[in-house]
């Protein structure tokens, strides 16, 4: 993600580790952190819930009750207020700095959006939208990526209507994050939930049949819903269409297979349910930001 020119024109580099540029509004703030040298166990916490999103470089995150993990560009992390993080910067240099944004959002705003969703976007089984599942680490989908980029631009812009613009974007951002949270919860627990939740059942069916041709009609029949209502409710609850979800699961499986540097690319895309190489390449690059061959090359170095 590219930072706006207005950021580079106004920011001041004072610290080589976690240099912070802050833009504040009424109940939210954006911080851009830059690190220009290697560092270990740098501690950081915020007073409000935070969406952290990697822009450039690599961090190794150490969080409470979680195994350490790499935090890479195109990924985000939801953290609760007052969560203490310890962060390593293994690759940061002056020429290749690590950059990350942290968006603080007041919990009252999150509650208001969740309440609005419950009033207007009820879940298929009647469950309620709730506050964020904190310490939620995920890959940004294209919609989230565009919103985050737009929000950073708006914060850095000097515009008299900035508060109004940002408020609308934050509502969409929270909705998309809650949908992504629900999507991941179903994907991670589909087997356990499938006996009493029809979307969990459908997701488990998709995961078990990725190599097969899957249609919205087939899935809607299994959910005992009309095709149009199934499509609408699935997208409303998951934040993406059934076809996009299927492709995401297929690419996730392909990524696992490509970690074996001896795996043939043709065998990979056929094993994941893709019928031709060009469509597979296109979907892989859209979701992972790189080609399958470039991704596999990482495991050969």
| pLDDT above 80 (res 231) | yes
How many residues in total does the chain contain? 301
Give tens-digit pLDDT for 55-74: 999 999 999 878 899 998 88
Q: Is the pLDDT of residue 280 over 90?
A: yes
Helix (H, G, I), strand (E, B) or coil at 50: strand
- With contact defined as beta carbons under 8 Å apart, do 178 and 110 qualify? no
- State which H helix or E strand residue 190 sits in: helix 162-193
Do residues 104 and 46 touch, judged by C-beta distance below 8 A?
yes
The partner residues of 20 in beta bridges, in order of sequence, read: 33
What is the distance, to the nearest Å, from the Cα of residue 292 to the centroid of all Cα atoms in its chain? Answer: 20
pLDDT in tens, 263-274: 889 999 999 999
Q: Is the pTM of this model over 0.85?
A: no
Which domains are seen in the chain, by residue range?
A: 5-182 (2.60.120.280), 194-301 (1.10.10.60)
Instruction: Give the whole-number percent of the chain exceeding pLDDT 70.
Output: 99
d(CA 181, CA 97): 30
Among 161, 173, 152, which residue's Cα sits nearest to residue 5?
Answer: 152
Buried (b) or exposed (e) across 176-200, using 16+ Cβ within 10 A? bbbbbbbbbebbeebeebbeebbbb
Give me the pLDDT at residue 301, please: 59
> What is d(CA 193, CA 212) in angstroms, rounded to the nearest whole number?
23
Chain segment 133-177, per-residue pLDDT in tens: 677 888 888 788 889 889 888 888 888 888 888 888 999 999 998
The angle at the Cα of 210, spanning 193 to 270, to the nearest 5 degrees, equals: 160
Whether residue 299 is predicted with pLDDT greater than 70 in this model: the reply is yes
End-to-end CA distance of the chain: 25
Q: What is the largest CA-CA distance in the chain?
A: 60
Q: What angle do CA 1, 169, 99 make, to 5 degrees?
A: 25
């Amino acid at each position: 993600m590219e930072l706006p020119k207005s950021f580079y024109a106004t920011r001041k580099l004072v610290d080589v580790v976690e240099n912070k540029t802050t833009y504040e509004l009424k109940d939210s703030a954006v911080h851009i952190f830059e690190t220009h040298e290697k560092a270990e166990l740098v501690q950081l916490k915020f007073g409000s819930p935070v969406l952290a999103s990697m822009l450039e470089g690599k961090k190794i995150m150490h969080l409470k009750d979680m195994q350490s993990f790499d935090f890479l560009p195109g990924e985000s992390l939801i953290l609760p207020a007052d969560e203490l993080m310890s962060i390593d910067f293994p690759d940061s240099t002056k020429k290749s700095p690590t950059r990350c944004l942290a968006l603080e959002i007041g919990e009252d705003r999150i509650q208001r959006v969740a309440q609005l969703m419950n009033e207007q976007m009820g879940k298929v089984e009647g469950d309620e939208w709730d506050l964020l599942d904190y310490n939620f680490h995920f890959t940004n989908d294209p919609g989230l990526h565009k919103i985050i980029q737009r929000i950073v631009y708006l914060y850095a812009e000097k515009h008299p209507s900035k508060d109004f613009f940002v408020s609308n974007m934050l509502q969409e951002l929270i909705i998309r994050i809650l949908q992504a949270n629900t999507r991941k919860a179903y994907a991670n627990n589909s087997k356990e939930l499938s006996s009493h939740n029809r979307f969990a059942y459908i997701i488990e069916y998709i995961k078990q049949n990725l190599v097969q041709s899957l249609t919205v009609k087939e899935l809607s029949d299994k959910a005992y819903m009309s095709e149009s209502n199934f499509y609408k409710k699935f997208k409303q609850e998951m934040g993406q269409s059934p076809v996009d979800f299927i492709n995401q699961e297929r690419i996730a499986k392909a990524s696992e297979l490509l970690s074996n540097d001896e795996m043939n690319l043709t065998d990979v895309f056929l094993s994941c349910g893709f019928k031709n190489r060009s469509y597979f390449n296109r979907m892989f690059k859209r979701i992972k930001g790189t080609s399958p061959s470039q991704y596999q090359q990482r495991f050969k170095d």
